[in-house]
Structure 1
Amino acid sequence: MSELTEVEGFIKCLVDSNIPHTLALTGSTARGELRSNSGQYDYESDLDILCIVEADSIAATLSCKKSYSCPIPLILMSSTALNYPSNAVLSIAFDSLISNDLGLSKPVFTDTNVAEFISYQAQPLAYYASQLAGSTLSTKRRLYSKISITCLKLLYLTDRLDRRSFIYEHELKSHHFVNVDEALVLGILNRELPDEQLRAAAEYLEMLVIACPSIMELVDSLESTRFHFLDKSRYSRKIIEAVFLENNRLKRTDALFIGAA
């Protein structure tokens, strides 16, 4: 059975069970950060489909989910997650929702406190770093790229602590970074760095982040970021689980379908 058919079957189960839901695209492709993928060190852009349900519908939704033993390219999310400025929420394409039974609209985070926002901006660093151990070389290339870009975003925020919206890569390209050469920034964002240079860049940029008091004083609001800066190797499993609880308001095993991890 094809993935599309599986998705359609799951959505039909929600409809038959009278479970209102919203289907939304998120990821770099959804937010328009498309690349040519023509470079030697490039990788496929992200595109995820979120299936958002009300908190009181989660138990019924998980009952539908139990019927599927194969991977389905959907990620379940509780609607309560829209109250928090995770990158998954910030990058939802609210102007092109696939369906919107819940009547959702783009949330506004202007009143979010700075510590919570900065912690959510540091969260991808914790999440991707926690997956490095045991990854293949091609996967590590993607992870180090994600880590490097996250660090650039954190450094970008050092004099923009009032920012409460998603940071796009084109903004990073035009920004002057202290202690980061412009050629290195472009090499990272254009996916032009060979593996070893990319790894070294990721480690260097995280070192700059750690040395930045205005960022490090604000990253304790989330369990995932707290564990990362405490001991990312020791707490890798806890970090991954914490990210799903923080982003989706669901456990990882509930948010993902079998094999989708």
Structure 2
Amino acid sequence: MSELIEIEGFITCLTNANIPHTLALTGSTARGELRKNSGRYDYDSDTDILCIIEPDSIAETLSCKREYAHSIPLILMSASALNHPSNAVLSIAFDSLINNDLNLSKPDFTNTRAAEFIAYQFQPLAYYASQLKHSTPDARRRLYSKIAITCLKLLYLAHHPGRRSFIYERELKLQNFTSIDEMLVQNILNRDLPDAELRDTAERLERQVAQCASIIAAADFLESTRLYVLDKDKYSKEIIDSIFLENNKLKKSDTLFIEAA
């Protein structure tokens, strides 16, 4: 895996500093949602590498990170993030960790309050929607696709309030959405809608989510989703900053390896 070669220097730094860490794959590929990219408007499935560290190792880890002025395909996460049902955590392939110094195992969210679970599933909608205003046309198409799919997941949750695990697209394909045409659902999930129709569909689904009382009530649980409901454009930066703190328990600047200007 070429990404592992790119991050090797940073991992060596952690090892030399005796900082325990776990490397994990997350994203659609890691969770087994591989697509055939057969839709006319499809895009590649994503995979990210997480470097999970203990909270008391954060300062030492950031000291190692400061040695890297170039971008590497790695995302830092505090182990405390595993206490919350974010999509990043739900997507971790715990059965195929690259290494596991921390002896991590798949967390159980069975007893998680409904409001917390719904809010964390609402979070991707806030994340993608807050990026729309300043995105390129190519990026916007992918954002609208992700917004539409996240809305389907939220509407699914509204009718399955006991759900406490990741919602797969293959499940949505089998779901009967009373207020959404079945063929439209299939076209959304197959990435088979042209730009204008995709935009209109995503915006319409956002309005449906906004009319769902249980989902909007849960938005108060997280700062990012609360700000989305208030004004996703006005608070776009604050939404994204909040999401990194909520998901990774680290600031965005500490989480990502971005090439220095």
TM over 0.5: yes
Partner Cα distance (2:37, 2:65) in 1:
34
Runs of 4+ deviating beyond 3 Å? 2-6
On the 8 A contact 1:3/1:71 being kept in 2, the answer is no
Deviation digits for residues 65-90 of structure 1, max 9, x if unmatched? Answer: 01111111000000000000000001
Amino acid at match of 1:48: D
TM-score of the superposition, structure 1-length normalised?
A: 0.97
Amino acid at match of 1:207: R
1:45–1:3 CA distance, 2 compared to 1 (3 A): closer
On the 8 A contact 1:157/1:163 being kept in 2, the answer is yes
Structure 2 residue aligned with 1:229: 229
Structure 1 residue aligned with 2:158: 158
Structure 1 residue aligned with 2:36: 36
TM-score of the superposition, structure 2-length normalised?
A: 0.97
Structure 2 residue aligned with 1:11: 11
Partner Cα distance (1:259, 1:121) in 2:
30
Deviation digits for residues 83-102 of structure 1, max 9, x if unmatched? Answer: 00000001100000000000
Structure 2 residue aligned with 1:119: 119
Partner Cα distance (1:102, 1:257) in 2:
22
On the 8 A contact 2:130/2:232 being kept in 1, the answer is yes
Structure 1's unaligned 5+ residue stretches are none
Instruction: Map 1:170-189 to 2 at 5 A.
Output: 170-189=170-189
Partner Cα distance (1:215, 1:12) in 2:
44
Structure 2 residue aligned with 1:196: 196
On the 8 A contact 1:43/1:142 being kept in 2, the answer is yes
Deviation of residue 219 (structure 1)? Answer: 1.4
Deviation of residue 214 (structure 1)? Answer: 2.1
Q: Per the alignment, in what secondary structure is the counterpart of residue 76 of structure 1?
A: strand
- Residue identity over aligned pairs, in percent, reads 68
Amino acid at match of 2:55: A
Partner Cα distance (1:166, 1:135) in 2:
27
Question: Which protein has the bigger helix share?
Answer: 2
Structure 2 residue aligned with 1:128: 128
Structure 2 residue aligned with 1:88: 88
Q: CA RMSD in A?
A: 1.2
Once structures 1 and 2 are overlaid, which stretch shifts more, 118-127 or 31-40?
A: 31-40
Deviation of residue 152 (structure 1)? Answer: 0.2
On the 8 A contact 2:6/2:73 being kept in 1, the answer is no
